[in-house]
Amino acid sequence: MKTDIVKTMSSQNAFDGQPAHLVELTNQAGMRVVLMDIGATWLSCRLPLASGELREVLLGMGTMEDFMRQTSYMGVTVGRYANRIANGFFSIKDRQYHVSTNQAGNCLHGGRLGLDKRRWQIAEQSQYHVVFSTVSHDGDQGFPGELSIQVTYTLTEHHGVTISYEATTTHATPCNLTNHAYFNLLGANSEADCHQHWLKVAANQYLPTTDKGIPFGELMDVTGSSFDFRDGKVIAKDWMVDQQQRMAKGYDHSFLFSADREVYLPVAEVVSPDNKVRMNVITNKPAMQLYTGNWLAGTPKREGGEYRDFSGLALETQFLPDSPNHPEWPQPDCILHPKQTYHYFTTYQFEC
């Protein structure tokens, strides 16, 4: 990677008039991960390949100016509620709340000024980990309760990046935190898109949505559909063969995992087209949004120029979209209550 983002991302001030603070994690094998306090963002992930190549597999920007103008949520921590809440409305104990709407009349990724658009505190750091923390005040974007959050990134000697989320609240509130990293295992600067990546998803059900990404019906069995990734296939294999994909311009859908699964086994596996990089996704979250970067065109690239649509794919572990309005879905309650602790993790485990 030519751009030294530790320098370039901090050479311009962020939205609050101060430069960003960046942290680089390294392991003994030479893997390097860069993180930033603005948005508790995962900026870079470079893998040491057997050939000697140090491959950047994470899409991203090289300057703060580009970061602040991009609208793709690239690498950021999103919340309070990742994904969408229909019309920005939900009720808790018969009290209705209306939260910030910022996409097609719906609340996306926490609203207009979500967690991705603020400076987090660096509570702790070492060569192998960093802890970001923030407090979302009562009424922030319309959400009830003061939400105290910690996000910990840990790099292992075995090329794993674990993201751990903890949160507590003073009043019952929806809580659904995730990271919005985009991966291209051929390399972030490769001209190839994500279509030739091989993907496996250990899920029997997916959630159909409207053209605005809002669930409109029941969970569907993946059998016989383009959403069946249980045995693994190249993403291009069933590309755009059904109305659900055509409405979303690709995959932008959630998959629900089995409630009785072993949470330390992978729920997803991705392999680069050149077979040099494999990534397993391990999580205790109940679902995962597969997004194939359908609207990435125009997003600034780290090395200059712009990404194209489908330049990378996101695997966002989370609750199902619009869960506050669907308590009947077979997953844990997405409402966090006082005296409870929201505690989830996701590991992106690389082999190269």
Give me the residues paired with residue 198 across strands: 234, 271
197 is known to lie in a ligand binding site: no
Place of tokens 């996701």: 346
2 band by pLDDT with thresholds 50, 70 and 90: low
Q: Is 180 a catalytic residue?
A: yes
Question: Phi-psi bin for 116: left (phi > 0), alpha (psi -120 to 50), beta?
Answer: alpha
pLDDT for res 303: 86
Residue 241 — φ and ψ, nearest 5°?
-85, -10
Q: Is residue 106 one of the residues assigned to a domain?
A: yes
Establish whether 158 is a catalytic residue.
no
Those residues with Cβ within 8 angstroms of residue 236's Cβ, 6 or more apart along the chain or in another chain: 195, 196
Instruction: Please tell me whether 284 is known to bind a ligand.
Output: no
Count how many domains the chain has: 1
69 is in an annotated binding site: no
pLDDT digits 0-9 by tens, 293-339: 999 999 999 988 999 999 999 999 999 999 999 999 999 999 999 99
**Which pTM value belongs to this model?**
0.97
At 217, the pLDDT band (50, 70, 90 cuts) reads confident
| Residue pair 278/271 in contact by the 8 Å Cβ criterion | yes
Which two structure tokens, joined as six digits, stand for 184?
A: 């291209």
Catalytic residue among 180, 197, 253, 326: 180
Kindly report the average pLDDT of the chain as a whole number. Answer: 97
Asked, for residue 25, whether it belongs to a domain, the answer is: yes
Instruction: Please report whether residue 238 resides in a domain.
Output: no
* 13 has binding-site annotation: no
Torsion of CA 241, 245, 251, 255, to 10 degrees: -100
pLDDT at 133: 98
- For residue 34, what are the domain limits? 5-192+293-351
Residue 348 is labelled as binding a ligand: no
User: Is 287 annotated as belonging to a binding site?
Assistant: no
Q: What CATH number corresponds to the domain at position 23?
A: 2.70.98.10
With 0-12 CB in 10 A as exposed, 13-18 as middle and 19+ as buried, what is 142?
Answer: middle
Q: Is residue 264 part of a domain?
A: no
Q: Is residue 302 part of a domain?
A: yes
Please report, for residues 20, 112, 345, the alpha-carbon distance to residue 96 in angstroms, rounded to integers and kept in the order given.
37, 20, 30
Q: Which residue is catalytic, options 56, 253, 316, 326?
A: 316
CA 287 from centroid of its chain's CA atoms: 12
C-alpha 328/C-alpha 215 separation (Å) is 13
Q: Are 44 and 1 in contact (CB under 8 A)?
A: yes
DSSP designation for 74: T
pLDDT tens for each residue of 149-176: 999 999 999 999 999 999 999 999 999 9
| Predicted local confidence at residue 157, as pLDDT | 97
% residues pLDDT > 90 (the chain): 97
> What are 34's strand-pairing partners?
24, 44
Q: What is the rounded average pLDDT of the residues 21-47?
A: 97
